[in-house]
A and B are shown apart, each in its own frame.
Chain A
Amino acid sequence: MDRITIKSIDRSEAFRYMAAEGYSPEGIIAELADECERELIRVISPKYTYRVFGISDNDGSRVRLSGCPLILEGKDISALLSGCHSAVLMCATVGAAADGLIRRYQAEDMTKAVITDSFASTAAEQVCAAFDDMLREKYPDKFITWRFSPGYGDLPISIQKDFLNILNAMRLTGICLNSAGMLTPVKSVTAVCGISDISLPKKQRGCAVCRMRENCTYRKRGTRCEF
């Protein structure tokens, strides 16, 4: 398990999560945002862990990994990992204290709760970005795909439990599932990415290939995520 430090929250990203893209807060909201950021950064303990497995078979609809009993099912994950020799399974979290802070703010001031909730989501994404940087540094001569999470496209979300078991995630990061299959702490991420010796075409991204496109909140609002 690796520990990383987050020094500030990417505000523009965070306000986008609040459906307030392009909004630059002033007055009370700016003050609250400063307070929420300070408090969140004080309490969180970001962590991630990962395992690298060789890809033993990728037939276009499922990917098998060597030394790992989990099979990654789906055309989307197969397409993502095509041309890759290894797959990285990772999980990351900002920790349970973020949930606690959001809970406290919900009893204290809903504005702070809303701001902190999206700041914490942003922080989780920043932990993932730090993981990406670490991986690129570790494999300077390789090409690394973007991250793809269980539940995206046709990669079933039902693999979460096995996925976390393989990473020993509970012990190393404190991440586990609740009875409904939600990740807890809430601001946690699981994802797969591929490692390749050759440069990869970037064609697989965007709304056109996203299977969430029919019920995506961003699209409903006329914006988009970073997929």
Chain B
Amino acid sequence: MNFEQLLREKEFIILDGAMGTMLQAKGMQPGETPELVNIQKPQWTEDIHRSYVDAGSDIIYANTFGANRYKLSECGKTPAELIPPAIANARKAAEGRALVALDIGPIGQLLEPTGSLSFEEAYELFREEVIAGRDADIIVIETMTDLYETKAALLAAKENSDLPVICTMTFEQNMRTFTGCSVSSMAITLEGLGADAIGVNCSLGPRELYPVVEELSRWTKLPVVVKPNAGLPDPETGSYDVTPEEFAESAAKLVPLGVKIFGGCCGTSPDYIRALKERLSSERYAAVEKNIPSAVCSPENTVIIDQPRIIGERINPTGKKRFKEALIKGDVDYILGQAIEQAHAGADILDVNVGLPDIDEKAMMIRAVKAIQGVTDLPLQIDSTMPDVLESALRIYNGKPIVNSVNGEEQSLNTVLPLVKKYGAAVVGLTLDENGIPKTADERFAIAERILNRALAIGIRREDVFIDCLTLTASAEQAGVMETVRAVRRVKEELGLKTVLGVSNISFGLPNRELINSNFLQMCLVNGLDLPIINPNAASMTGAVRAYKLLTAIDVNSVDYINAYSGVTVTTNISGTAAVKEEKSSDGNSLLYAVENGLKAECAKITAQLLETTDAMDIVDGILIPALDKIGAEFESGKRFLPQLILSAGAAQSCFEVIKQKLSAENGTPETKGKVILATVKGDIHDIGKNIVKVLLENYGYDVIDLGRDVDPQAVVDAATEHDVRLVGLSALMTTTLKAMEDTIALLRSNNVNCKIVVGGAVLTPEYAEKIGADFYAKDAKATVDCAKKIYG
């Protein structure tokens, strides 16, 4: 018997119940390593397994839940030592009556960005478990709360074994996991990645899980698994509050939702499984008809493509000098700024393209995708012409992304579609091929159809293929505009596919581009465009989508429209230049006032005006630096508080951004006062202090090389050597991470890196700083700036 046969032949598949509470009943102490029992008291696990098989379990979970290298490190054993005996024990108890599962639980450490374990490290830990568990009949990944960790485990299982895989995650009553993952995101991501059955386990009893299972069932065609707790635990006695009969009764109520696989988690015992088996014997499996819509997701946010959704196009260096500079410098913060700005402006999905000839696109793509997912919950569209860049981004993406793009060329179809299938993404299909972009709508339609058929042939769902009928510029190919529009309509109506289109290209070379863009956008929306790729910061473009949704009654009762525009005074842009000139003239005093009061928008505006008449460096040295000095002095004397200091620093930052953009447009580079490396030390993930220091240093014209948080000592040494910096700033928040600070300093010294070191952080003192070999102790961000001044003048 294997899993497939079980699915086919059994009305319901019965799993086992709890292992941990059963072991505790046999005498295991709380906090002990349960997997040690596999070799120290094998009879215990064998007895427990046997009692579950006797009670009716079709699949039993070997005692390997926490058998990963990280968790086992404290007991000195390895997965290879504990997993095979665990499976052998289960096998012995099963006597051919039940399948044996390799049970994989969470690693016990949070993954980035909330924790410090990387996706790649998590994958390695899981890989080791999968390989050690190759004698099992099936792999179960369970009790997961982080979609990212679940993905690492599922990929490790799929890539290192041929066994079927069940994935179950743990949801709270608010329908989310601890890390915020929603039921729909879990379902579409894990089904896409090739799980064989998905479901929920732990945290709640069967009654409380009903709404979670109902939602899950709506989002997947895979067999649904439910393995609830025996109710909720009493903190003092550790006992659970639901009886076996109540448990079985509540579980039976889940049958109409289409649940196929049942079991028990914490607090359940063979009695629960027996009661479950008995109660279900009078039920029939209820296959549920469902249509899963087109959707993409991050862990927290599922975007259903049942109406026009805006794909923000701004994360792309094409034609943007400032963006290219940021990429070359590895300035991810700049990209994050672009992400957040588009999210605020109304983007539903963000396109991410970091392709530039002179950079390592793959490394940059991985960094950018991870960083963007750390600060926004918008799903991403991964945009690259290089298949290996696409694949590395697909691997580390958390959720279900869109791949941009495949086209009708044989080579593209052969390389890109298998990636889309393997990683469970959606894909943009460009209607071009070896012969270029066809002129007519009919020819583009034919390519769309070809792409669709190839996608379907390798198992990509129709709902996951989005066709781009390609926008040509109206100034060059005026007759082609309507061909694009017609192609959109045909693809939508005849193939039933979602359509996507980069809109802004239409107006290239024409004056007043926004006018053309927004009109073309409306034409396309009316003809069936689902995913306009636009600049959401352009009010007329986002406005066109909002207006379309209102006028087509998608935005019911105009709620979104009113939310977006109530209280907004709309001014026409035609007299913009004149309007600025009419305002009272801007001078140094008004800029000082704006910086002191943290008026960001004012700061940017006044700086732009001043730049028309004043040299950039005069503004910096004559106005901004003195303003910052004054604010800094007031902070030191207690007249100003930290939030006020940061507010002013942030306002000054917007002045510097305007200056940078101007210099960049004129091919100049901003004058730098010197390079400073900043890092939060290894193991420390609290980096707000370091980031405050960064803002202040940048205000004063220092070029900050920000290595981030949880930084390996060697990375600091490498960066300091490569950039030849004279000052390195290290931050540590906890007493536990001071050691890492000491190690970093020692490594800098032993490598004879010729730099001074300044340290700061809540638990540091001047004495301790001296003891660990730092040159300076900075009590706050202002003191770090003073320190930099001492070194660079």
Contacts and interface: CB of A to CB of B under 8 A. Distances in A.
A20 B643 contact: yes
Interface in B85-119: 106, 108-110, 113-117
Contacts of B474: none
A170 B108 CA distance: 7
A102 B779 CA distance: 22
Most chain A beta carbons < 10 A, residue from B115, B266, B768:
B115
Contact of A19 (B179, B232, B641, B695): B641
Nearest to B74: A161
Contacts of A113: 688, 691
Contact of A157 (B32, B176, B644, B735): B735
Nearest to B683: A180
B74 A114 contact: no
B290 to A, nearest CB: 30
A29 B692 contact: no
A181 B145 contact: no
Interface residues of B, number: 73
Nearest to A168: B30
B337 interface: yes
B535 interface: no
A170 B646 contact: no
A125 interface: no
Interface in A161-220: 161-162, 165-166, 168, 170-174, 176-182, 184-186, 214-215, 217, 220
Contact of A69 (B29, B106, B174, B238): B29
A115 B643 CA distance: 7
A186 B685 contact: yes
Contacts of B683: 178-182
B174 to A, nearest CB: 7
Interface stretch (B189-197, B268-276, B513-521, B757-765): B757-765
Nearest to B229: A171
Given A181-B736, A182-B686, A69 B178 contact: no
Interface stretch (A55-63, A73-81, A93-101, A141-149): A93-101
Contacts of A67: 29-30
Nearest to B737: A180
Interface in A89-109: 95-97, 99-100, 102-104, 106-109
Nearest to B643: A29
Nearest to A160: B736
A134 B649 CA distance: 43
B779 to A, nearest CB: 7
B235 A49 contact: yes
B221 interface: no
B736 A103 contact: no
B698 to A, nearest CB: 11
A104 B763 contact: no
Contacts of B179: 96, 174
Contacts of A168: 30
Given A96-B179, A215-B763, A69 B115 contact: no
B110 A184 contact: yes
Contacts, number: 182
B145 A28 contact: no
B576 interface: no
B343 to A, nearest CB: 9
Interface string B618-648: 0000000000000000000000011110110
Nearest to A70: B31
B336 interface: yes
A1 B238 CA distance: 11
B643 A111 contact: yes
A100 B768 CA distance: 32
Contact of B31 (A68, A107, A182): A68
B684 interface: yes
Nearest to B332: A107
Contact of A110 (B106, B114, B650, B763): B650
Interface string A111-136: 10111010000000000000000000
Given A110-B695, A157-B736, A104 B180 contact: no
B495 interface: no
B688 A117 contact: yes
Measured as residues with beta carbon below 8 angstroms from the partner, the interface class of chain A is 35 or more
Contacts of B649: 110
B32 A69 contact: yes
A100 B30 contact: no
Nearest to B688: A117
Interface string B717-751: 00000000000000001111100100000000000
A45 interface: yes
B333 interface: yes
A25 B643 contact: yes
A18 interface: yes
A215 B765 contact: yes
Contact of A68 (B30, B202, B643): B30
Contacts of B779: 220
Nearest to A90: B235
A176 B735 contact: no
B685 A18 contact: no
A180 B173 CA distance: 32
A37 to B, nearest CB: 13
B375 A69 contact: no
Nearest to A157: B736
Contact of A108 (B145, B340, B598, B740): B340
Interface in B326-340: 333, 336-337, 339-340
B688 A102 contact: yes
A153 interface: no
B353 interface: no
A114 B115 contact: no
B324 interface: no
A162 B31 contact: yes
A151 B170 CA distance: 31
A69 B33 CA distance: 12
Contacts of A227: none
A6 interface: no
A221 to B, nearest CB: 9
B650 A50 contact: no
Contacts of B238: 51
Contacts of A157: 735-736
Interface string B244-265: 0000000000000000000000
Contacts of A176: 108-110, 115
Given A28-B597, A178-B683, A184-B110, A96 B688 contact: no
A113 B691 CA distance: 10
Contact of B30 (A27, A106, A165): A165
Given A96-B179, A110-B692, A103 B740 contact: no
B493 to A, nearest CB: 40
Contact of A104 (B176, B178, B340): B340
B143 interface: yes
Interface of B: 29-32, 74, 106, 108-110, 113-117, 143, 145, 170, 172-174, 176, 178-180, 202-203, 232-233, 235-236, 238, 266, 333, 336-337, 339-340, 374-376, 597-599, 641-644, 646-647, 649-650, 682-688, 691-692, 695, 733-737, 740, 762-765, 768, 779
Interface of A: 1-3, 15, 18-20, 23, 25, 27-29, 32, 45, 49-52, 67-70, 95-97, 99-100, 102-104, 106-111, 113-115, 117, 151, 157, 161-162, 165-166, 168, 170-174, 176-182, 184-186, 214-215, 217, 220
13 contacts: A3-B173, A19-B642, A52-B235, A96-B114, A104-B374, A157-B736, A170-B106, A170-B108, A178-B683, A180-B737, A181-B734, A217-B763, A220-B765
The 7 closest A-B pairs by CB, nearest first: A180-B683, A174-B178, A20-B641, A107-B336, A181-B736, A165-B31, A166-B31
